[in-house]
Amino acid sequence: MVKNYLWPKTLFGDFRNTRKLDDYHEKDYAKIIDLYNQNYTHNYYKMRNMMIKGFANRESLRLMNEKPDRSRETFNQGGLQDPNNTFKFTTDPPSRENFLMSPAYVNAWYQPERNSITFPYAYLNPPFYNLKYPQAFNYGGQGGTGGHEIVHGFDDEGKLIQQFQDSYQRQFSANYHTNNRFGPDGSLSKCQWHECGWMTSKSKDGFRDMAQCVVTQYNTQCCPEKSGNILCANGATTQGENIADLGGQQASYRAYREFIKTKGKEEK
């Protein structure tokens, strides 16, 4: 569970002892903060020396050791590091241990390529979640969020996940160029990209009806202005999030009613 909170326990230790975390930061950052308070940031040479001293053992900032007269090149090369790391995701196998975000990030996300849903540690703390809160609050908040992320696996894109994977793996094969796709039973079939995937024909029909209801419902949600340029939601382009919102809240409400049923009485 600690691992799934996105907390690098091997580096920082457990949640009860933050000394190791403090030592980790103070070693590199305390000097930088002190020097920053002296307002050296306007002077390139002092700033450079300050950062080299504070980050001497940081491989990620090794480019700061470049000569001052190459500052523009150093800056440009430093800007390439993030894109280079990003492009690695297109070639490296997906890792379920790579959560992409900090444990202090207040959000949650579904990663179909990793078959995972992530709840950062910060999102499972007050004011967003607390076991001492009324459970209606927790179910409606974090429960709804959990349901939202699960339903993403069944929204207008989630129903195509298998198809996207098949197409990606076979994009250089003859089948990719002849409109042959893999159907719900795993066999090759001729179909349009938006009609393939893992759903059966009956499921696709039901999904299409449901999705159209959601699109129609949200198309009617408009800005309360009564005159001028009145803007309305685009139900078609937002259907993925809307389906996840509605499905997540419905699932959370049913789970809450089961909780009340088990408890034997309503909350006060």
Q: Tokens 């893999």 label which residue?
A: 182
How far apart CA 8 and CA 104 sit, in angstroms, is 12
Residue 149 designated active-site: yes
33: exposed, middle or buried (Cβ count in 10 Å: 0-12, 13-18, 19+): exposed
232 by DSSP, 3-state: which? strand
Determine which one of 155, 156, 166, 245 is catalytic. Answer: 245
> Using alpha carbons only, what angle is made at residue 261 by residues 255 and 263, rounded to the nearest 5 degrees?
105
Residue 82 designated active-site: no
Rg (CA), the chain: 25
Please enumerate, as own/partner, the contacts of 72-81 that have beta carbons within 8 Å and a separation of 24 or more.
Answer: none
How far apart CA 250 and CA 245 sit, in angstroms, is 9
Contact assessment for residue 68 and residue 48, using Cβ atoms and an 8 Å cutoff: yes
> Using alpha carbons only, what angle is made at residue 90 by residues 87 and 95, rounded to the nearest 5 degrees?
105
Q: Tokens 């993925």 label which residue?
A: 240
At 160, the amino acid letter reads L
Q: Which residues neighbour 206 within 8 Å (Cβ) at sequence distance 6 or greater?
A: none
Determine which one of 149, 155, 156, 166 is catalytic. Answer: 149
Question: Between the CA of residue 97 and those of 14, 27, 50, 111, 146, what are the distances in Å?
Answer: 18, 27, 34, 12, 19
How far apart CA 166 and CA 164 sit, in angstroms, is 6
* Active site members: 149, 245
